[in-house]
């Protein structure tokens, strides 16, 4: 089973490969038909786009290989890991915040989706309810207590139970 991010990256990759193998060659052919290539801005733009696409395809293929090593069974159970929803209380301020731990490609800080590799993500990783963590933020040190945790495994079980 592919993780959702792997599926999204594969979809993105398919679009980039189509552009690289169909659209850019068409653009290059059309630009070349205009004559002298040494002063042909359209041709240079298409060549530049082709280089960018090749590099991006390579990056995405590498990331898909890395992420394909993650399986549901490789994600720890009972502790904060990829896919976890973590509720923390700021010990000093009393505010409660919920985060979802995601891969860097899925980050959406405005919606509480933070990266495993962010300072808060690293501090929370492998922790459980009741644990306290200290995080260095741009506004200074923050101390949080984990007050709620739903792991990816818990969410899948709840989803399965809801379907029956």
Residues with Cβ within 8 Å of 41's Cβ and at least 6 positions away in sequence, in order, are none
Q: Please, which pLDDT band fits residue 13 given cuts at 50, 70 and 90?
A: very high
Q: What is the pTM of this model?
A: 0.70
Which helix (H) or strand (E) covers residue 148, if one does?
strand 140-150
CB proximity list for 151: less than 8 A, separation 6 or greater? 75, 76, 77, 78, 79, 80, 81, 83, 84
Per-residue pLDDT of 20-53, as tens digits, reads 999 999 999 988 887 777 778 888 999 999 999 9
Q: Is the pLDDT of residue 117 over 70?
A: yes
> How high does pLDDT run on average in the chain?
89
Would you place residue 160 in the very low, low, confident or very high pLDDT band (cuts 50, 70, 90)? Answer: low
Q: CA 88 to CA 116: how far, in whole Å?
A: 16
* Sign of the CA dihedral running 66, 72, 77, 83: positive
Using one digit for the tens of pLDDT, what is the confidence trace for 126-152? 999 999 999 998 888 999 999 999 988
Taking only the tens place, the pLDDT of each residue in 73-107 is: 778 888 999 989 999 999 999 999 999 999 988 99
DSSP state, residue 61: H
Q: Distance (Å, rounded) from C-alpha 68 to C-alpha 112?
A: 25
Token pair 């298409």 in the structure block, residue: 46
User: Does the structure show a pLDDT above 60 at 1?
Assistant: no
Which residues have CB under 8 Å from 95's CB, separation 6+?
Answer: 89
Spatial contact of 79 and 150, defined as CB atoms under 8 Å apart = no
């Amino acid at each position: 089973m592919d993780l959702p991010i792997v599926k999204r990256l594969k979809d993105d990759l398919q679009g980039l490969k189509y552009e690289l193998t169909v659209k850019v060659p068409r653009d290059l052919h059309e630009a070349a038909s205009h004559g002298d290539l040494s002063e042909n801005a359209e041709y240079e733009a298409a060549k530049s786009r082709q280089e960018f696409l090749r590099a991006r395809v390579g990056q995405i293929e590498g990331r898909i290989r890395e992420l394909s090593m993650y399986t549901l069974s490789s994600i720890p159970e009972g502790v904060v890991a990829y896919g976890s929803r973590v509720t923390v209380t700021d010990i000093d301020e009393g505010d409660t915040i919920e985060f979802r731990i995601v891969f860097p490609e899925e980050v959406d800080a405005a919606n509480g989706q933070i990266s495993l590799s962010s300072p808060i993500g690293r501090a929370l990783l492998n922790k459980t309810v009741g644990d306290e963590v200290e995080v260095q933020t741009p506004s200074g040190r923050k101390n949080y207590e984990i007050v709620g945790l739903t792991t990816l495994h818990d969410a899948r079980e709840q989803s399965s139970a809801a379907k029956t």
